[in-house]
Amino acid sequence: MVPFAGYAMPIQYEGIIAEHLWTRAHAGLFDVSHMGQLLVPPGEDKALEALLPGDITGLGKGVLRYSLLLDPHGGILDDLMVTRRDDGLYLVVNGAVKAADVAHLRSGGISVDYRDDWALLALQGPEAVTVLDRLVPGVADLRFMRAGSFAWGGHDLWVSRSGYTGEDGFEISIGVAGVEAFAEVLLAAPEVKPIGLGARDSLRLEAGLPLYGHDLDPGTNPIEAGLAFAISKRRKTEGGFPGAEIILGQLLGGAPRKRIGLAVDGKLPAREGALVFAGDVPVGVVTSGGFAPSVGAPIAMAYVAAAQAADGTPLEIEVRGRRLAATVVPMPFKPKNYVRAEGSNA
Amino acid sequence: MTLYFTQEHEWLDVTGDTATVGITDYAQGQLGDVVFVEVPEAGRVVAKGKEAAVVESVKAASDVYSPASGTVTEANAALAEDPALVNTAPQGDGWFFKMTLSDASELDGMMDEAAYKAWVATL
Protein backbone atom coordinates (compact mmCIF):
# COMPACT_ATOMS: atom_id res chain seq x y z
CA MET A 1 0.00 0.00 0.00
CA VAL A 2 1.23 3.49 -0.77
CA PRO A 3 -0.18 6.95 -0.10
CA PHE A 4 -1.69 8.50 -3.24
CA ALA A 5 -3.83 11.64 -3.43
CA GLY A 6 -4.70 11.22 0.23
CA TYR A 7 -5.71 7.57 -0.12
CA ALA A 8 -3.95 4.35 0.82
CA MET A 9 -3.68 2.57 -2.53
CA PRO A 10 -2.40 -0.90 -3.41
CA ILE A 11 0.57 -0.94 -5.80
CA GLN A 12 0.12 -4.63 -6.45
CA TYR A 13 -1.63 -7.77 -5.26
CA GLU A 14 0.10 -10.80 -6.77
CA GLY A 15 2.57 -8.91 -8.97
CA ILE A 16 2.38 -6.19 -11.59
CA ILE A 17 3.23 -8.39 -14.60
CA ALA A 18 0.77 -11.12 -13.61
CA GLU A 19 -1.99 -8.58 -12.94
CA HIS A 20 -1.29 -6.76 -16.21
CA LEU A 21 -1.42 -9.94 -18.28
CA TRP A 22 -4.52 -11.16 -16.43
CA THR A 23 -6.36 -7.94 -17.31
CA ARG A 24 -5.41 -8.27 -21.00
CA ALA A 25 -6.64 -11.88 -21.07
CA HIS A 26 -9.55 -11.93 -18.59
CA ALA A 27 -10.92 -9.18 -16.34
CA GLY A 28 -9.27 -6.98 -13.73
CA LEU A 29 -11.04 -5.02 -10.99
CA PHE A 30 -9.58 -1.62 -10.08
CA ASP A 31 -10.74 0.51 -7.15
CA VAL A 32 -10.46 4.02 -8.56
CA SER A 33 -12.59 5.70 -5.92
CA HIS A 34 -9.83 8.27 -5.40
CA MET A 35 -10.96 9.88 -8.64
CA GLY A 36 -13.31 12.82 -8.27
CA GLN A 37 -16.95 12.34 -9.31
CA LEU A 38 -18.72 15.63 -9.85
CA LEU A 39 -22.27 16.56 -10.87
CA VAL A 40 -23.05 19.79 -12.65
CA PRO A 41 -26.79 20.58 -12.79
CA PRO A 42 -28.60 21.01 -16.12
CA GLY A 43 -28.35 24.40 -17.78
CA GLU A 44 -24.64 25.02 -17.19
CA ASP A 45 -23.31 23.59 -20.47
CA LYS A 46 -22.22 26.97 -21.78
CA ALA A 47 -20.42 27.86 -18.56
CA LEU A 48 -18.51 24.57 -18.78
CA GLU A 49 -17.65 25.18 -22.43
CA ALA A 50 -15.90 28.37 -21.34
CA LEU A 51 -13.38 26.20 -19.43
CA LEU A 52 -12.75 23.33 -21.86
CA PRO A 53 -12.58 22.75 -25.64
CA GLY A 54 -15.25 20.05 -25.97
CA ASP A 55 -18.71 20.36 -27.50
CA ILE A 56 -20.85 20.06 -24.37
CA THR A 57 -24.09 21.64 -25.59
CA GLY A 58 -24.18 19.06 -28.37
CA LEU A 59 -23.41 16.12 -26.05
CA GLY A 60 -26.13 13.50 -26.29
CA LYS A 61 -27.64 11.70 -23.32
CA GLY A 62 -25.54 8.80 -22.13
CA VAL A 63 -22.53 9.83 -24.23
CA LEU A 64 -19.04 10.28 -22.74
CA ARG A 65 -16.67 12.92 -23.98
CA TYR A 66 -12.97 13.13 -23.10
CA SER A 67 -12.02 16.71 -22.41
CA LEU A 68 -9.43 18.99 -20.82
CA LEU A 69 -9.63 21.80 -18.30
CA LEU A 70 -7.35 24.51 -19.69
CA ASP A 71 -5.60 27.57 -18.29
CA PRO A 72 -5.47 30.91 -20.17
CA HIS A 73 -2.31 29.78 -22.01
CA GLY A 74 -3.88 26.53 -23.12
CA GLY A 75 -1.99 24.59 -20.45
CA ILE A 76 -3.73 21.46 -19.19
CA LEU A 77 -5.14 21.74 -15.65
CA ASP A 78 -6.66 18.27 -15.79
CA ASP A 79 -8.10 15.73 -18.19
CA LEU A 80 -11.57 14.43 -17.51
CA MET A 81 -14.64 12.59 -18.78
CA VAL A 82 -17.94 14.41 -19.21
CA THR A 83 -21.20 12.48 -19.61
CA ARG A 84 -24.75 13.79 -20.13
CA ARG A 85 -27.22 12.37 -17.60
CA ASP A 86 -30.81 13.24 -16.73
CA ASP A 87 -29.63 15.01 -13.59
CA GLY A 88 -26.96 17.05 -15.39
CA LEU A 89 -23.37 16.55 -16.45
CA TYR A 90 -21.35 13.84 -14.74
CA LEU A 91 -17.63 14.61 -14.57
CA VAL A 92 -14.83 12.23 -13.57
CA VAL A 93 -11.59 14.03 -12.75
CA ASN A 94 -8.18 12.98 -11.47
CA GLY A 95 -7.83 12.33 -7.75
CA ALA A 96 -4.66 14.33 -7.21
CA VAL A 97 -6.19 17.57 -8.54
CA LYS A 98 -9.89 17.12 -7.76
CA ALA A 99 -10.00 19.82 -5.07
CA ALA A 100 -8.35 22.30 -7.44
CA ASP A 101 -10.76 21.28 -10.21
CA VAL A 102 -13.79 21.88 -8.01
CA ALA A 103 -12.47 25.33 -7.04
CA HIS A 104 -11.69 26.14 -10.68
CA LEU A 105 -15.15 25.10 -11.88
CA ARG A 106 -16.84 27.08 -9.10
CA SER A 107 -14.76 30.16 -9.90
CA GLY A 108 -16.10 29.79 -13.46
CA GLY A 109 -19.61 30.17 -12.06
CA ILE A 110 -20.44 26.46 -12.26
CA SER A 111 -22.42 24.75 -9.50
CA VAL A 112 -20.44 21.63 -8.64
CA ASP A 113 -21.72 18.86 -6.45
CA TYR A 114 -18.65 16.86 -5.39
CA ARG A 115 -19.97 13.36 -4.74
CA ASP A 116 -17.48 11.87 -2.32
CA ASP A 117 -20.31 9.56 -1.25
CA TRP A 118 -19.87 7.68 -4.52
CA ALA A 119 -17.23 5.04 -5.12
CA LEU A 120 -15.81 4.16 -8.55
CA LEU A 121 -14.78 0.71 -9.75
CA ALA A 122 -13.26 -0.17 -13.11
CA LEU A 123 -13.74 -3.66 -14.52
CA GLN A 124 -11.41 -4.02 -17.49
CA GLY A 125 -10.48 -6.76 -19.93
CA PRO A 126 -12.04 -8.93 -22.63
CA GLU A 127 -14.12 -10.91 -20.12
CA ALA A 128 -15.42 -7.85 -18.27
CA VAL A 129 -18.59 -7.74 -20.36
CA THR A 130 -19.42 -11.38 -19.60
CA VAL A 131 -18.98 -10.88 -15.87
CA LEU A 132 -20.80 -7.59 -15.57
CA ASP A 133 -23.70 -8.51 -17.82
CA ARG A 134 -24.26 -11.66 -15.71
CA LEU A 135 -24.71 -9.45 -12.61
CA VAL A 136 -26.22 -6.40 -14.27
CA PRO A 137 -28.18 -7.56 -17.33
CA GLY A 138 -28.18 -5.06 -20.16
CA VAL A 139 -24.74 -3.52 -19.77
CA ALA A 140 -23.53 -5.55 -22.77
CA ASP A 141 -25.72 -3.33 -24.96
CA LEU A 142 -23.65 -0.27 -24.10
CA ARG A 143 -21.01 0.55 -26.67
CA PHE A 144 -17.64 2.26 -26.13
CA MET A 145 -18.00 5.76 -24.63
CA ARG A 146 -21.67 5.22 -23.81
CA ALA A 147 -23.19 5.06 -20.33
CA GLY A 148 -26.45 4.38 -18.57
CA SER A 149 -28.32 3.88 -15.33
CA PHE A 150 -28.53 0.36 -13.88
CA ALA A 151 -29.10 -1.30 -10.52
CA TRP A 152 -27.64 -4.15 -8.52
CA GLY A 153 -28.85 -5.49 -5.17
CA GLY A 154 -30.94 -2.43 -4.50
CA HIS A 155 -28.08 -0.05 -5.27
CA ASP A 156 -28.08 2.45 -8.14
CA LEU A 157 -25.22 2.06 -10.59
CA TRP A 158 -24.01 4.46 -13.25
CA VAL A 159 -22.17 2.27 -15.74
CA SER A 160 -19.89 3.61 -18.49
CA ARG A 161 -18.26 1.51 -21.18
CA SER A 162 -14.87 3.10 -20.87
CA GLY A 163 -11.58 2.70 -19.09
CA TYR A 164 -7.88 3.36 -18.91
CA THR A 165 -6.32 0.10 -20.06
CA GLY A 166 -6.91 -0.04 -23.82
CA GLU A 167 -9.20 -3.03 -23.21
CA ASP A 168 -12.95 -3.32 -23.40
CA GLY A 169 -14.47 -2.70 -20.01
CA PHE A 170 -16.62 -0.64 -17.71
CA GLU A 171 -16.39 2.03 -15.07
CA ILE A 172 -19.06 1.68 -12.41
CA SER A 173 -20.15 4.42 -10.04
CA ILE A 174 -21.92 3.16 -6.91
CA GLY A 175 -22.74 4.63 -3.52
CA VAL A 176 -20.22 3.89 -0.78
CA ALA A 177 -22.84 1.85 1.11
CA GLY A 178 -22.94 -0.74 -1.67
CA VAL A 179 -19.45 -0.76 -3.11
CA GLU A 180 -17.83 -3.30 -0.83
CA ALA A 181 -20.53 -5.92 -1.40
CA PHE A 182 -20.49 -5.24 -5.14
CA ALA A 183 -16.70 -5.52 -5.32
CA GLU A 184 -16.86 -8.84 -3.41
CA VAL A 185 -19.39 -10.21 -5.89
CA LEU A 186 -17.24 -9.13 -8.84
CA LEU A 187 -14.12 -10.66 -7.26
CA ALA A 188 -15.97 -13.92 -6.68
CA ALA A 189 -16.30 -14.34 -10.45
CA PRO A 190 -13.62 -16.72 -11.78
CA GLU A 191 -12.74 -14.26 -14.55
CA VAL A 192 -11.89 -11.44 -12.13
CA LYS A 193 -8.81 -10.60 -10.07
CA PRO A 194 -8.03 -7.40 -8.15
CA ILE A 195 -5.48 -5.16 -9.87
CA GLY A 196 -3.26 -2.53 -8.26
CA LEU A 197 -1.95 0.86 -9.30
CA GLY A 198 1.23 -0.64 -10.77
CA ALA A 199 -0.58 -2.58 -13.49
CA ARG A 200 -3.01 0.30 -14.02
CA ASP A 201 0.03 2.36 -14.98
CA SER A 202 1.64 -0.27 -17.24
CA LEU A 203 -1.69 -0.98 -18.97
CA ARG A 204 -2.42 2.67 -19.73
CA LEU A 205 1.17 3.23 -20.87
CA GLU A 206 0.92 0.40 -23.41
CA ALA A 207 -2.42 1.85 -24.54
CA GLY A 208 -0.68 5.17 -25.19
CA LEU A 209 -2.95 6.96 -22.71
CA PRO A 210 -1.35 9.95 -20.97
CA LEU A 211 -1.28 10.23 -17.16
CA TYR A 212 -2.05 13.60 -15.64
CA GLY A 213 0.81 15.01 -13.57
CA HIS A 214 3.33 13.10 -15.68
CA ASP A 215 2.50 13.29 -19.40
CA LEU A 216 0.10 16.21 -19.00
CA ASP A 217 0.39 19.28 -16.79
CA PRO A 218 -0.05 23.06 -17.04
CA GLY A 219 3.18 23.20 -19.06
CA THR A 220 1.69 21.06 -21.85
CA ASN A 221 -1.11 21.94 -24.24
CA PRO A 222 -3.54 19.68 -26.11
CA ILE A 223 -1.78 19.98 -29.46
CA GLU A 224 1.70 19.01 -28.31
CA ALA A 225 0.10 16.30 -26.13
CA GLY A 226 -1.48 14.76 -29.24
CA LEU A 227 -4.98 15.35 -27.86
CA ALA A 228 -6.37 17.50 -30.67
CA PHE A 229 -9.27 15.03 -30.92
CA ALA A 230 -10.51 16.47 -27.61
CA ILE A 231 -11.18 19.78 -29.37
CA SER A 232 -14.63 19.31 -30.84
CA LYS A 233 -15.28 20.36 -34.43
CA ARG A 234 -17.56 23.25 -33.51
CA ARG A 235 -15.06 24.58 -30.96
CA LYS A 236 -12.27 24.53 -33.56
CA THR A 237 -14.37 26.99 -35.57
CA GLU A 238 -15.82 29.01 -32.74
CA GLY A 239 -12.98 28.98 -30.21
CA GLY A 240 -14.06 30.57 -26.93
CA PHE A 241 -12.13 28.24 -24.63
CA PRO A 242 -9.05 29.15 -22.54
CA GLY A 243 -5.90 29.44 -24.66
CA ALA A 244 -7.91 29.07 -27.87
CA GLU A 245 -5.66 31.43 -29.81
CA ILE A 246 -2.50 29.49 -28.98
CA ILE A 247 -4.12 26.08 -29.37
CA LEU A 248 -5.90 26.77 -32.65
CA GLY A 249 -2.71 28.42 -33.97
CA GLN A 250 -0.72 25.26 -33.20
CA LEU A 251 -3.51 23.11 -34.61
CA LEU A 252 -2.90 24.77 -37.98
CA GLY A 253 0.79 25.56 -37.81
CA GLY A 254 2.01 22.66 -35.71
CA ALA A 255 3.37 22.49 -32.16
CA PRO A 256 7.08 23.00 -31.49
CA ARG A 257 7.20 19.67 -29.62
CA LYS A 258 5.09 16.55 -29.52
CA ARG A 259 4.24 13.69 -27.21
CA ILE A 260 5.52 10.54 -28.86
CA GLY A 261 5.99 6.84 -28.13
CA LEU A 262 9.44 5.30 -27.93
CA ALA A 263 10.33 1.63 -28.33
CA VAL A 264 13.51 1.12 -26.30
CA ASP A 265 16.19 -1.38 -27.35
CA GLY A 266 17.37 -3.90 -24.77
CA LYS A 267 15.87 -4.52 -21.36
CA LEU A 268 16.83 -1.48 -19.30
CA PRO A 269 13.72 0.65 -18.68
CA ALA A 270 13.89 4.40 -19.31
CA ARG A 271 11.80 6.25 -16.76
CA GLU A 272 10.23 9.65 -16.23
CA GLY A 273 12.82 12.42 -16.36
CA ALA A 274 15.32 10.63 -18.62
CA LEU A 275 16.68 12.94 -21.32
CA VAL A 276 16.19 12.14 -25.00
CA PHE A 277 18.96 12.87 -27.51
CA ALA A 278 19.38 13.07 -31.27
CA GLY A 279 23.12 12.52 -31.50
CA ASP A 280 24.66 14.96 -29.02
CA VAL A 281 21.67 17.28 -29.02
CA PRO A 282 19.09 17.01 -26.24
CA VAL A 283 15.69 17.04 -27.96
CA GLY A 284 13.29 16.07 -25.20
CA VAL A 285 12.45 14.24 -22.00
CA VAL A 286 10.69 11.01 -21.03
CA THR A 287 7.43 11.66 -19.14
CA SER A 288 6.41 8.01 -18.56
CA GLY A 289 8.35 4.86 -19.10
CA GLY A 290 8.83 1.33 -17.95
CA PHE A 291 8.71 -2.31 -18.84
CA ALA A 292 5.67 -3.17 -20.95
CA PRO A 293 4.51 -6.69 -20.01
CA SER A 294 2.40 -7.31 -23.14
CA VAL A 295 5.10 -5.93 -25.43
CA GLY A 296 7.86 -7.74 -23.53
CA ALA A 297 10.22 -4.77 -23.68
CA PRO A 298 10.68 -1.29 -22.25
CA ILE A 299 8.57 1.51 -23.74
CA ALA A 300 8.30 5.20 -23.00
CA MET A 301 6.33 8.35 -23.69
CA ALA A 302 8.35 11.50 -24.25
CA TYR A 303 8.00 15.05 -25.45
CA VAL A 304 10.49 15.75 -28.24
CA ALA A 305 11.11 18.55 -30.70
CA ALA A 306 8.71 18.35 -33.65
CA ALA A 307 11.62 17.72 -36.05
CA GLN A 308 12.39 14.48 -34.18
CA ALA A 309 8.80 13.32 -33.70
CA ALA A 310 8.18 11.38 -36.92
CA ASP A 311 7.58 7.63 -36.61
CA GLY A 312 10.78 5.71 -37.23
CA THR A 313 13.11 8.48 -36.03
CA PRO A 314 16.10 6.92 -34.24
CA LEU A 315 16.82 8.62 -30.90
CA GLU A 316 18.76 7.86 -27.73
CA ILE A 317 17.69 7.99 -24.09
CA GLU A 318 20.21 8.61 -21.31
CA VAL A 319 19.85 6.31 -18.31
CA ARG A 320 22.51 6.38 -15.56
CA GLY A 321 25.15 7.70 -17.94
CA ARG A 322 24.53 5.22 -20.70
CA ARG A 323 22.72 5.79 -23.97
CA LEU A 324 19.86 3.48 -24.91
CA ALA A 325 18.84 3.27 -28.55
CA ALA A 326 15.16 4.02 -29.07
CA THR A 327 12.84 4.52 -32.01
CA VAL A 328 9.81 6.76 -32.32
CA VAL A 329 6.78 4.48 -32.78
CA PRO A 330 3.05 5.12 -33.14
CA MET A 331 0.87 4.74 -30.05
CA PRO A 332 -0.84 2.68 -28.78
CA PHE A 333 2.07 0.28 -28.28
CA LYS A 334 -0.55 -2.45 -27.99
CA PRO A 335 -3.69 -2.33 -30.19
CA LYS A 336 -6.83 -1.29 -28.34
CA ASN A 337 -9.76 -3.67 -28.02
CA TYR A 338 -12.73 -1.35 -27.70
CA VAL A 339 -16.28 -2.41 -28.60
CA ARG A 340 -17.33 0.53 -30.73
CA ALA A 341 -20.76 1.41 -32.01
CA GLU A 342 -21.04 1.01 -35.78
CA GLY A 343 -20.13 4.24 -37.48
CA SER A 344 -19.08 5.75 -34.15
CA ASN A 345 -15.91 7.71 -33.77
CA ALA A 346 -16.61 8.77 -30.18
CA MET B 1 30.93 -22.23 2.80
CA THR B 2 29.02 -20.06 5.23
CA LEU B 3 25.95 -17.95 4.59
CA TYR B 4 25.80 -14.42 5.94
CA PHE B 5 22.92 -11.93 5.76
CA THR B 6 22.74 -8.15 6.08
CA GLN B 7 20.04 -5.77 7.24
CA GLU B 8 20.03 -4.45 3.65
CA HIS B 9 18.60 -7.85 2.62
CA GLU B 10 21.69 -9.17 0.88
CA TRP B 11 23.27 -12.57 1.33
CA LEU B 12 26.90 -13.63 1.02
CA ASP B 13 27.97 -17.21 0.53
CA VAL B 14 31.56 -17.19 1.78
CA THR B 15 34.27 -19.79 1.09
CA GLY B 16 37.71 -18.70 2.29
CA ASP B 17 38.20 -15.15 1.02
CA THR B 18 35.70 -15.38 -1.81
CA ALA B 19 31.97 -14.67 -1.65
CA THR B 20 28.93 -14.98 -3.89
CA VAL B 21 26.51 -12.07 -3.36
CA GLY B 22 22.81 -11.73 -4.01
CA ILE B 23 19.59 -10.35 -2.55
CA THR B 24 17.22 -12.26 -0.32
CA ASP B 25 13.80 -13.69 -1.03
CA TYR B 26 12.32 -10.97 1.18
CA ALA B 27 14.06 -8.29 -0.93
CA GLN B 28 12.83 -9.68 -4.24
CA GLY B 29 9.31 -9.85 -2.83
CA GLN B 30 9.51 -6.17 -1.91
CA LEU B 31 10.88 -5.20 -5.32
CA GLY B 32 8.32 -7.10 -7.34
CA ASP B 33 8.88 -8.31 -10.90
CA VAL B 34 12.54 -7.75 -11.80
CA VAL B 35 13.04 -6.75 -15.45
CA PHE B 36 16.70 -5.68 -15.52
CA VAL B 37 19.77 -6.09 -13.34
CA GLU B 38 22.92 -4.05 -13.72
CA VAL B 39 25.75 -6.00 -12.08
CA PRO B 40 29.37 -4.83 -11.61
CA GLU B 41 31.87 -6.18 -14.11
CA ALA B 42 34.81 -8.38 -13.11
CA GLY B 43 37.72 -6.33 -11.81
CA ARG B 44 35.64 -3.58 -10.29
CA VAL B 45 36.59 -2.67 -6.74
CA VAL B 46 33.55 -2.37 -4.50
CA ALA B 47 33.28 -0.94 -0.99
CA LYS B 48 31.01 -2.05 1.81
CA GLY B 49 27.88 0.07 1.85
CA LYS B 50 28.55 1.63 -1.57
CA GLU B 51 26.49 1.18 -4.72
CA ALA B 52 27.41 -2.00 -6.54
CA ALA B 53 24.38 -2.96 -8.63
CA VAL B 54 21.00 -1.65 -9.74
CA VAL B 55 17.81 -3.69 -9.86
CA GLU B 56 15.00 -2.46 -12.09
CA SER B 57 11.59 -3.83 -11.22
CA VAL B 58 8.43 -2.92 -13.08
CA LYS B 59 7.87 -0.38 -10.31
CA ALA B 60 11.21 1.38 -9.96
CA ALA B 61 15.00 1.29 -10.02
CA SER B 62 16.69 0.32 -6.75
CA ASP B 63 20.35 0.52 -5.81
CA VAL B 64 22.00 -2.53 -4.32
CA TYR B 65 24.90 -1.77 -1.99
CA SER B 66 27.88 -4.04 -1.69
CA PRO B 67 27.64 -5.93 1.59
CA ALA B 68 31.44 -6.12 1.83
CA SER B 69 34.58 -4.59 0.37
CA GLY B 70 36.70 -6.30 -2.25
CA THR B 71 37.08 -6.97 -5.97
CA VAL B 72 34.43 -8.41 -8.25
CA THR B 73 35.61 -11.59 -9.96
CA GLU B 74 32.49 -12.55 -11.90
CA ALA B 75 29.10 -11.03 -12.73
CA ASN B 76 26.15 -13.35 -13.21
CA ALA B 77 25.79 -13.25 -16.99
CA ALA B 78 22.53 -15.21 -16.83
CA LEU B 79 20.74 -12.18 -15.39
CA ALA B 80 21.15 -10.28 -18.65
CA GLU B 81 19.01 -12.83 -20.45
CA ASP B 82 16.69 -13.72 -17.59
CA PRO B 83 16.47 -11.02 -14.90
CA ALA B 84 13.44 -12.77 -13.41
CA LEU B 85 15.87 -15.32 -11.91
CA VAL B 86 16.14 -12.79 -9.07
CA ASN B 87 12.45 -13.44 -8.35
CA THR B 88 12.38 -17.16 -8.95
CA ALA B 89 15.73 -18.14 -7.37
CA PRO B 90 17.07 -15.20 -5.36
CA GLN B 91 19.40 -17.38 -3.28
CA GLY B 92 20.29 -19.67 -6.18
CA ASP B 93 20.61 -18.93 -9.91
CA GLY B 94 19.63 -15.32 -9.28
CA TRP B 95 22.97 -14.44 -7.59
CA PHE B 96 24.45 -11.07 -8.58
CA PHE B 97 28.25 -11.32 -8.47
CA LYS B 98 31.24 -13.13 -6.99
CA MET B 99 34.02 -11.24 -5.22
CA THR B 100 37.23 -11.60 -3.27
CA LEU B 101 36.91 -10.11 0.20
CA SER B 102 39.53 -7.56 1.22
CA ASP B 103 38.50 -7.41 4.87
CA ALA B 104 37.07 -10.57 6.38
CA SER B 105 36.31 -8.71 9.62
CA GLU B 106 33.42 -7.04 7.79
CA LEU B 107 31.58 -10.33 8.14
CA ASP B 108 31.55 -9.91 11.90
CA GLY B 109 28.17 -8.78 13.02
CA MET B 110 26.32 -10.11 9.98
CA MET B 111 23.44 -12.46 10.62
CA ASP B 112 23.21 -16.17 9.95
CA GLU B 113 20.15 -17.48 8.14
CA ALA B 114 18.18 -18.22 11.31
CA ALA B 115 18.87 -14.77 12.76
CA TYR B 116 17.98 -13.10 9.46
CA LYS B 117 14.69 -14.98 9.17
CA ALA B 118 13.79 -14.12 12.75
CA TRP B 119 14.58 -10.47 12.08
CA VAL B 120 12.62 -10.35 8.80
CA ALA B 121 9.62 -11.82 10.63
CA THR B 122 9.56 -8.68 12.78
CA LEU B 123 9.42 -6.29 9.79
Q: Indicate whether A310 pLDDT > 90.
A: yes
B56 chain-A contacts, CB cut-off 8 A: 268-269, 291
**Looking at the partner chain, which of B32, B36, B80 has a beta carbon nearest the beta carbon of A269?**
B36
> Which residue out of A291, A317, A324 would a mutagenesis test of the B interface target, given it has the greatest number of B Cβ atoms within 10 Å?
A291
Using CB atoms and an 8 Å cut-off, which of residues 274-293 of chain A contact chain B? Answer: 290-291, 293
Residues B77 and B96: their CA atoms lie apart, in Å, by: 9
A12 chain-B contacts, CB cut-off 8 A: 32, 59
Q: Does B29 touch chain A (CB under 8 A)?
A: no
- Residue pair A290/A330 in contact (Cβ under 8 Å)? The answer is no
Is B35 within 8 Å of A291 when comparing Cβ atoms? yes
Q: Please measure the distance between the N-terminal and C-terminal CA atoms of chain B and give it in whole angstroms.
A: 28
Please count the residues of chain B: 123
Predicted-complex ipTM score: 0.83
- Cβ pairs bridging A and B (under 8 Å): 41
**A76-85 confidence digits (pLDDT tens):** 999 999 999 9
**B16-65 confidence digits (pLDDT tens):** 999 999 999 999 999 999 999 999 999 999 999 999 999 999 988 999 99
B33 chain-A contacts, CB cut-off 8 A: 15-18, 291
Residue A26 neighbours by CB distance under 10 Å: 20
Q: Indicate whether A99 pLDDT > 80.
A: yes
Residues B95 and B27: their CA atoms lie apart, in Å, by: 13
> Which residue out of B28, B35, B38 would a mutagenesis test of the A interface target, given it has the greatest number of A Cβ atoms within 10 Å?
B35
A198 chain-B contacts, CB cut-off 8 A: 32, 58-59
Average pLDDT score, chain A: 96
pLDDT of residue A212: 98
Q: Which residue of A lies nearest to B28 if distances are taken between CA atoms? A: A15
Burial of B80 (0-12, 13-18, 19+ CB in 10 A): middle
**Looking at the partner chain, which of A18, A269, A293 has a beta carbon nearest the beta carbon of B56?**
A269
Name which of B119, B91, B120 is nearest B3 in CA terms: B91
pLDDT of residue A249: 97
Q: Indicate whether A37 pLDDT > 60.
A: yes
Q: Does B59 touch chain A (CB under 8 A)?
A: yes
Residue A333 neighbours by CB distance under 10 Å: 21
- Residue pair B36/B24 in contact (Cβ under 8 Å)? The answer is no
Is B61 within 8 Å of A267 when comparing Cβ atoms? no
Q: Indicate whether B103 pLDDT > 50.
A: yes
Residues A82 and A151: their CA atoms lie apart, in Å, by: 21
Burial of A1 (0-12, 13-18, 19+ CB in 10 A): exposed
> Which residue out of B38, B58, B64 would a mutagenesis test of the A interface target, given it has the greatest number of A Cβ atoms within 10 Å?
B58
Name which of A331, A283, A333, A321 is nearest A303 in CA terms: A283
pLDDT of residue A345: 43
Report residue B1's pLDDT band, with 50, 70 and 90 as the boundaries. confident
Q: Which domains does chain A have, with CATH numbers?
A: 2-206 (3.30.1360.120), 256-329 (2.40.30.110)
pLDDT of residue B59: 85
Is B59 within 8 Å of A202 when comparing Cβ atoms? no
Q: Does A16 touch chain B (CB under 8 A)?
A: yes
**A155-171 confidence digits (pLDDT tens):** 999 999 999 999 999 99
Using CB atoms and an 8 Å cut-off, which of residues 18-37 of chain A contact chain B? Answer: 18
